[in-house]
Chain A
């Protein structure tokens, strides 16, 4: 195997950009193919998939981005195949091969439902690149339907582990491997359609990449790829240069992994020196006993999200980014687990990593970083009891942190996820469930000069024989932090039969096997976000608007914001007197 070593011959910067756009087109076309040919709703409609093109050396040069957590998730597989990641036995790669893997430890994945496929790209008998894609499959076996459990205690409970093997060999599907994978899913028909779609997408990406080489020549494409990587690296370096040199540390906490245990600290230390940035997670807590561990590729994807969002959203999605940042996490911690530590619900922790990195960066860039967001996946799952078996999964959004110059957004997904809800009119048609309320929660956003985003409350009534409830959610013990004098937000909570005589608040966010009777209501409340700046500095008119719109109660307006209202107007004199008194206290 050889790789294209870029020479010093110049390819003008315009051509580099034209090739960059063409590479994006290739990744986009592969992504379109994947969605069109896939069977499951999760890939086809929710686009829980990504496609990418790598150069011959195994460096990511273009990715069609849908889901931040997928960034870099394919690099593990390609790195093992290309030899870029040392320590793996070399596998013979031939034209027409397609490789498959989902394993977080042996294949570079992040959790088992995300299956990666990789096809080599050959011109003149040499490997000049790789076409890869990743898709979230709705079931790969394991102890819960959906293979997305919060409370598994070992990877072996989470589903089928697929090492890096060929699923297509020189153009022929390896039926033995395919049969093996299909038998291990609760929905083999769906898997079959989705896996074929991934193969087709890998193949079309490879074919288009060959055509690009034919159009511009291998050498020019190689140099352009190198330039594109350099560009992403420079973009990050420029953004880092604007951050004051120093060492910034922030600790955030994950809810206890089991009842009776302590919270798990996530410690981010950001070191900035000139154009270099290093993220060190020393001090972070031990490996979790449940599925919230984060392997290397998931940690890298999370760091990519956090730095891109905080420093420069225009950084292109390619591997050059990782040349400009150093990431380390001590072995045996929740951010560098040893196999077979369980990982299915890794995104809860990824969200907390972002909070910790933002917390550290806020010390250096107080004008740029929002206060703490809900940062919980709040994944809930209802499955039917009795004759009418069904599975209804949902992810509930929450508040986004107040910004240094604006309120936080109400009721949105944040950080490494951005998935949409299922329409209520769809779910009530498909499942014996009735939604009684779906609304913003008053006073759930942390008060401040700028208010934190509000949480969501959804009340779901169980119809029919009853249902079993399972969930993984975080931020149920510690609310999102307020910044710069802003108040904290509010934690999330699951409540069975709210307001009734036998109301019960569940002990935490990671639960399974909660039995609900027909007629019961399950109240799901997500966390509200932290505020920014002192509530006493908030424009009284904004407080009035929030009160009139029911986002803030009249009581909170007086007690927390010290705003005195007279009907639908602000009593300016009384407000100013009250605020002076509060500040003096």
Chain B
């Protein structure tokens, strides 16, 4: 049995795939104080329900937000930073841009290491990696003395040009570990060995800041998993969509910061691929925001750098674009008479007015309830009914501001939110040279299927996919992810007839990959490595990737590699400069243990004895046509091959799908709704 457990802010989702190829799903409230409690209870619950023993679990994949929350809530460890002399302010100065172009009151994100805890070492490498000044023993001793005088739990080390030669960082790290064995010590040449000092430094500091807490969490997680009787060690998902051992995570917790959205994209791409769609935009709408990501040929586009609340992290992740529009987004009419929706959100508390937790501002959810799109008789939580009257009052006020009735106001709120999301979908498509009209939209998250079809129509997309369980795609992503890491060396190499320098770097990385495989205890036969070069024209300041497969690069291959760079440049930007000097900037090895991808279970076709899927009718309002009587379907009762024509609403435990008039949807053999959108 394979099990995936994803921890969200409110719920922890469990998806299990048994040996017969059947899925089982569980959902229990998250336990923020120790996320592994919900993991343990959830897994036990699913196993009991299925009647399986924990000893049959041969894979336990886990997505955790411990590092992410530690950074967002700024409650990580007290951290010291050790840098090259003259550069104690690289973290403060960053790229010298201000946080907001026009807002004079905006603050920079709080630096994670106050200036008094930044220590300089009188060492220096030149740009080509040669040593200008080595680390002197007396200077090192002075540093250790200074470090002994401060109360910190973690130490980050980042020297200039350490991506070329890590000897100085290694020397200082070893000395600090030896003197302070209880401190979490991390160095940039291990965390993000890439040129560009600010980004590398920032990533290393964040790693130190979240490191001790992640260390504690992982220990608890392993213990609970053992106590459950699960015979394998859990694997934890990283932002790159690959899972690794707890040991790897303790070393580089920074690689998990964006793992949640990445896991969701992975799950969505997998579901879509089963249904034959490999070029798409994923659309994950939750309570406060919507994440969209371009997937090409079944793989999410990768970003090598992200900013989280202003903190820059350089680790590969799905290139997710976030827009501040979700179910809880607050609507208001501004002084100049325009309806604004988001980016402020009512969150889970007080939440939408209709939830009855004291929300007094209109939200997108309130609008959906009034429009009949979300079931007004729905029961939320402990037998609480939606407070439709409250929704009417708050949305009515929006109507007063706009001079329209409450229903038109609700439609307006939804249309404005949709237009923000449409803009984001267009952006991720055109940013990469794709026309969104050639792509399918995959809707998930609690609110995704409520809005996706109208968003697709606004953008001109023709197909929307709604997976069988839109609320648990992150946990599903955990089931289909492989064990994988990327190891990178920054190494400026001119490509000019001699492959030896490149071969040397590749050999070094191959060795590092083997060490990693050993640590992950991956059998030799299951080790796969692939090498990728970051290349650019001389004096350009941006790179493109060229895949060189198994890395067996010989002199006679160099011309072809250069030709492929020119071709990639042409494909990405529409032109190339065959005469210009080409340089390699980084070499990356992608080390993986490929997963035996599961096949999605089939949904049976309709039998004569099956109950009809229509369970009710109610009035649902749409743009232009107003109120229509729509069929309400129970997703559980749908069968493969069923056709539903809008207007209709399809309800299920974790989501609601709204089909506007003139849309037709078919339930495909895997249970995914394939919606045809007409302009």
Residues of A bordering B, CB below 8 Å = 12-14, 16-18, 21-22, 24-25, 28-29, 32-33, 36-39, 41, 44-45, 65, 68, 189, 193, 196, 200, 231, 234-235, 238, 305, 308-310, 313-314, 368-370, 396-397, 400, 403, 405-406, 409-414, 418-426, 428-430, 434-440, 456, 459, 548-551
Inter-chain contact A397/B127, CB cutoff 8 Å: no
Q: In the complex, A16 Cα to B338 Cα: how many Å?
A: 9
Inter-chain contact B93/A17, CB cutoff 8 Å: no
Is B195 an interface position by the 8 A CB rule? yes
Q: In the complex, A332 Cα to B620 Cα: how many Å?
A: 66
By a CB distance below 8 angstroms, the chain A residues around B577 are: 39, 189
By a CB distance below 8 angstroms, the chain A residues around B198 are: 423
> CB within 8 A of A39: which of B127, B458, B575?
B575
Is B535 an interface position by the 8 A CB rule? no
Q: Please, which residue of chain B has its CB at the minimum distance from the CB of A435?
A: B86
Inter-chain contact A17/B98, CB cutoff 8 Å: no
Inter-chain contact B492/A429, CB cutoff 8 Å: yes
Query: Given A36-B574, A41-B540, A414 and B88 touching (CB < 8 A)?
Result: no
Q: Please, which residue of chain A has its CB at the minimum distance from the CB of B429?
A: A29
Query: Given A412-B98, A428-B127, A36 and B573 touching (CB < 8 A)?
Result: yes
Q: Which residues in window 207-225 of B have CB below 8 A to A?
A: none
Q: In the complex, A85 Cα to B185 Cα: how many Å?
A: 64
A-B contact pairs, 20 of them (CB 8 A): A41-B540, A238-B336, A313-B103, A400-B98, A403-B104, A410-B92, A413-B96, A418-B101, A420-B97, A423-B198, A424-B87, A425-B195, A426-B195, A426-B541, A428-B161, A429-B127, A430-B539, A434-B132, A440-B92, A551-B115
Inter-chain contact A549/B116, CB cutoff 8 Å: yes
By a CB distance below 8 angstroms, the chain B residues around A32 are: 427, 430-431
Query: Given A37-B573, A430-B539, A425 and B416 touching (CB < 8 A)?
Result: no
Is B349 an interface position by the 8 A CB rule? no
10 closest A-B pairs by beta carbon, nearest first, are A428-B127, A437-B86, A397-B96, A313-B102, A549-B115, A420-B95, A234-B336, A14-B412, A412-B98, A21-B419
Whole-angstrom distance between the Cβ of A527 and the nearest chain B Cβ: 14
By a CB distance below 8 angstroms, the chain A residues around B116 are: 548-550
Whole-angstrom distance between the Cβ of A215 and the nearest chain B Cβ: 9
Q: In the complex, A21 Cα to B541 Cα: how many Å?
A: 32
Q: How many residues of B contact A (CB 8 A)?
A: 67
Is B100 an interface position by the 8 A CB rule? yes
Inter-chain contact A18/B415, CB cutoff 8 Å: yes
Is B335 an interface position by the 8 A CB rule? yes
> CB within 8 A of B93: which of A28, A403, A411, A548?
A411
Inter-chain contact A29/B430, CB cutoff 8 Å: yes
Residue of B127, B412, B458, B540 ringed by the most chain A CB atoms within 10 A: B127
Whole-angstrom distance between the Cβ of A483 and the nearest chain B Cβ: 13
Inter-chain contact B197/A13, CB cutoff 8 Å: no
By a CB distance below 8 angstroms, the chain B residues around A21 are: 419-420, 422-423
By a CB distance below 8 angstroms, the chain A residues around B100 are: 313
By a CB distance below 8 angstroms, the chain B residues around A456 are: 93, 96
Whole-angstrom distance between the Cβ of A245 and the nearest chain B Cβ: 19
Is B339 an interface position by the 8 A CB rule? yes
By a CB distance below 8 angstroms, the chain B residues around A238 are: 335-336
Is B89 an interface position by the 8 A CB rule? yes
By a CB distance below 8 angstroms, the chain A residues around B412 are: 12-14
> CB within 8 A of A44: which of B114, B115, B423, B542?
B542
Q: Please, which residue of chain A has its CB at the minimum distance from the CB of B577?
A: A189
Q: Please, which residue of chain A has its CB at the minimum distance from the CB of B541?
A: A41
Inter-chain contact B426/A14, CB cutoff 8 Å: no
Q: In the complex, A428 Cα to B97 Cα: how many Å?
A: 21
Whole-angstrom distance between the Cβ of B144 and the nearest chain A Cβ: 21
Is B126 an interface position by the 8 A CB rule? yes
Whole-angstrom distance between the Cβ of B85 and the nearest chain A Cβ: 8
By a CB distance below 8 angstroms, the chain A residues around B422 are: 21-22, 25
Query: Given A421-B96, A423-B195, A17 and B338 touching (CB < 8 A)?
Result: yes
Inter-chain contact A425/B338, CB cutoff 8 Å: no
Q: In the complex, A419 Cα to B96 Cα: how many Å?
A: 8
Q: Please, which residue of chain B has its CB at the minimum distance from the CB of A416?
A: B101
Inter-chain contact B115/A309, CB cutoff 8 Å: no
Inter-chain contact A397/B104, CB cutoff 8 Å: no
Q: In the complex, A434 Cα to B95 Cα: how many Å?
A: 18
Q: In the complex, A435 Cα to B105 Cα: how many Å?
A: 32
Inter-chain contact B575/A424, CB cutoff 8 Å: no
Whole-angstrom distance between the Cβ of A30 and the nearest chain B Cβ: 9
Given contact pairs A18-B419, A369-B104, A439-B87, a sample of 14 additional A-B residue pairs in the complex whose CB atoms are under 8 Å apart:
A17-B339, A18-B416, A22-B419, A33-B430, A36-B574, A39-B577, A65-B101, A397-B93, A423-B199, A425-B195, A438-B90, A440-B115, A459-B86, A551-B115
By a CB distance below 8 angstroms, the chain A residues around B415 are: 14, 17-18
By a CB distance below 8 angstroms, the chain B residues around A313 are: 100, 102-104
Per-residue 0/1 for B394-432: is the Cβ within 8 Å of any A Cβ (1 yes, 0 no)? 000000001010000001100110011011001100110
Inter-chain contact A409/B108, CB cutoff 8 Å: yes
By a CB distance below 8 angstroms, the chain A residues around B90 are: 438
Inter-chain contact A436/B86, CB cutoff 8 Å: yes
Q: In the complex, A409 Cα to B458 Cα: how many Å?
A: 41
Query: Given A36-B572, A196-B575, A426-B195, A25 and B97 touching (CB < 8 A)?
Result: no
